[in-house]
DNA sequence: AGTATCGTTTAGAAATTTCTAAACGTTCCG
DNA sequence: CGGAACGTTTAGAAATTTCTAAACGATACT
């Protein structure tokens, strides 16, 4: 996803703007938009649309009903609804009685769900990167001391660059943490922290 | 990308841990990590790796050199480097002399580049969603007034739900703006704003 | 037991994205 | 002019992701 994706635009049904159709149109647009958003955030479109359908339903829906509304296949809805559930975006609702279908409803406390995603997906990513950078940095430091000449100089250069990125990712991680914990962030100082830009591009290092 | 992707782990070269190899290994790991990050953020892996190569190079590199280092094809590198350039993550460096190759270097003021991406990609997305929600909301409001009975009730329900999401996206947009402009954000009040969760699921609305 | 109704799994079809090799157009130099 | 050295474009190969239809296993009811 580098160029913005182009999503198909539904052509309006030519006639018959009954009230039902109007409502239908608004909800469909909303649902498709959520599909786009989900895709944008690295989930897939059906997940978003599925969430949309539940979000706009006053009562929990069965798998069958969702399949119908989204015109998708049972299997596809099945796996995607479980993914939504896994991220806490949707929850299963139990009904007793003879009906043994599974019903789902949308988690309306969206902030909570986002928090979980930030914590378990985005933060995992940032921490992994930080971890790796830490390793590299300490390795390079050792290396730089044990070596001399061009090699050491290269190591120092790498060190400096990686340090920049480490700060960036550490800030990102902090930001995510604040979002989850409900803290505060000042992006003014943040940008100053991240961008050192000593710009050292030393012409004396050959490559 | 729903389940975390599994990336191939390079098996360490069995012997010969020469200093060159050590440096090489650290840089390769870094570069591949950036590939993963780029992918995570909805770019593609080569873009990230390409940026990595330039970021770890003390001097600008030609297309040919990048092709070599990344073991990719000329065409592929060509389009991806231009994407990077478009996002301001990389810039072309002019050399005079008989050499008419294009040289590129990494933008080291990463914060600036991120700002551009937030402004031109993420914000565009959020504003698009907000715009659409605004339309829907005002349409539903009109509808709700002109109609009566179940239809009007449904419209009101949709209104309420969409209003929740509108707040969320508006907050997101604000957050992005702060990041770009260097403002401050308090996620404590933010979460309170976003999550109304009046939870109205009215059992009296049939669907 | 036999059958109907669920949700899940699976094999592979379809769609999309990423990548390569070759063709191409330009510029420069002989 | 002819050829060499570039970066870009393009046609289609390769890889990945998304989706469907059918098989399947479990449960409930007759």
Mean pLDDT, contiguous 10-residue spans, chain A (207 residues): 56 63 94 98 98 98 97 98 97 87 96 95 97 97 92 95 95 96 90 61 46
Q: Which segments of B86-200 are extended strands (E)?
A: 90-93, 103-106, 184-186
Quick one: what percent of chain B has pLDDT higher than 90?
75
Phi, psi (rounded to 5 degrees) for A71: 55, 50
- Identify whether the C-beta of residue B185 lies closer than 8 Å to the C-beta of residue A185: yes
CA of B53 to C1' of D7 (A): 19
Strand C contacting residues by CB (7 Å): A 1-2, 5, 62-64, 74-75, 78-79, 81-82, 100-102; B 44-46, 71-76, 80, 98, 100
Nucleic acid strand C: bases within 7 A of protein CB: 5-11, 17-22, 27-29
What pLDDT does A4 receive? 57
Interface of A with B in 85-104 (CB under 8 A): none
Residue A3: the pLDDT is 55
Residues in chain A: 207
How is residue A186 annotated by DSSP? Answer: E
User: Which positions of strand D lie within 7 Å of protein CB atoms?
Assistant: 5-11, 17-22, 27-29
| CB contact at 8 A, A51 and A59 | no
Residues facing B62 on adjacent strands: B103
Q: What is the CA radius of gyration of chain B?
A: 25
Distance CA B153, CA B130 (A): 23
Phi first, then psi: what are they for A152, rounded to 5°?
Answer: -65, -40
pLDDT at B207 over 50: no
Answer whether residue B59 shows pLDDT above 80: yes
**How far is CA A97 from each of CA A100, B21, B207, rounded to the nearest angstrom?**
8, 67, 20
Helix axes B187-194, B150-181, angle to 10 degrees: 160
Which nucleotide is closest to the Cα of A81 by its C1'?
C7
Task: Say which residues have a Cβ less than 8 Å from residue A149's Cβ, sequence separation at least 6.
Answer: none
pLDDT score at B22 = 86
pLDDT at B206: 45
Return the number of CB contacts < 8 Å for A and B: 172
Q: What is the pLDDT of residues B170-206, one digit of tens each?
A: 999 999 999 999 999 999 887 777 765 554 444 444 4
- Of A159, A122, A99, nearest to A41 by C-alpha is A122
Query: Alpha-carbon distance B202 to B157, whole Å?
Result: 8
Partners of B207 on chain A (C-beta within 8 Å) are 57-59
Distance, CA of B128 to CA of B100 (rounded, Å): 42
CA distances from B172 to A151, B42, B167, B179, B194 (A): 46, 18, 9, 11, 10
**pLDDT tens, position by position, B128-161:** 999 999 999 999 999 999 998 989 999 999 999 9
* CA of B46: nucleotide with nearest C1': C18
Query: What is the value of pTM for the model shown?
Result: 0.88
Query: What is the rounded CA–CA span in Å between residue B57 and residue B4?
Result: 30
Query: Do residue B30 and residue A83 have CB atoms under 8 angstroms apart?
Result: no
Give the distance from residue B67's alpha carbon to the nearest chain A alpha carbon, in angstroms.
16
- Longest Cα–Cα distance of chain B, Å, equals 81
Cβ within 8 Å, pair B197-A155:
no
pLDDT given for residue B192 in this prediction = 76
Name, in order, each residue with C-beta under 8 angstroms of A206's C-beta and a sequence gap of 6 or more.
Answer: A150
Place of tokens 């990048």: B66
DSSP annotation of B121 reads I
Minimal-distance CA residue of chain A relative to B125: A37
Cα separation of B189 and B177, whole Å?
17
Residue A203: what pLDDT?
A: 46
Task: Tell me the pLDDT tens digit for each residue of B1-48.
Answer: 455 566 555 554 555 677 778 899 999 999 999 999 999 999 999 999
Pairing of strands A61-62, A103-106: antiparallel
> In this complex, is the C-beta atom of B178 within 8 Å of any C-beta atom belonging to chain A?
yes
146-175 in chain A: CB under 8 A from chain B: 147, 151, 154-155, 157-158, 161-162, 164-165, 168
Let me know the angle formed at the C-alpha of A28 by A25 and A34, rounded to the nearest 5 degrees: 145
| Cβ–Cβ gap A23/B158 under 8 Å | yes
For B26, the closest of A140, A191, A197 (CB atoms) is A140
pLDDT at B16: 65
Max Cα separation, chain A? 81
């Amino acid at each position: 996803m580098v160029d913005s994706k182009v999503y198909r635009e539904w052509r309006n049904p030519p006639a018959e703007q009954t009230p039902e159709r109007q409502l239908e149109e608004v909800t469909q647009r909303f649902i498709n938009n959520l599909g786009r958003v989900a895709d944008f955030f690295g989930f897939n479109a059906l997940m978003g649309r599925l969430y949309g359908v539940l979000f706009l339903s006053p009562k929990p829906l069965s798998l069958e009903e969702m399949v119908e509304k989204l015109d998708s296949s049972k299997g596809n809805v099945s796996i995607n609804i479980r993914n939504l559930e896994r991220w806490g975006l949707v929850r299963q609702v139990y009904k007793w009685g003879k009906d043994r279908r599974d019903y789902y409803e949308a988690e309306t406390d969206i902030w909570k769900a986002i928090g979980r995603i930030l914590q378990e997906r985005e933060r995992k990513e940032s921490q992994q990167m930080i971890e790796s950078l830490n390793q590299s940095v300490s390795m390079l430091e050792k290396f730089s001391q044990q070596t001399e000449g061009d090699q050491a100089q290269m190591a120092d250069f790498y060190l400096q660059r990686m340090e920049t990125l480490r700060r960036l990712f550490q800030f990102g991680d902090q930001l995510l943490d604040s979002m989850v914990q409900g803290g505060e962030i000042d992006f003014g100082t943040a940008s100053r922290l991240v961008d050192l830009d000593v710009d050292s591009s030393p012409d004396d290092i050959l490559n």
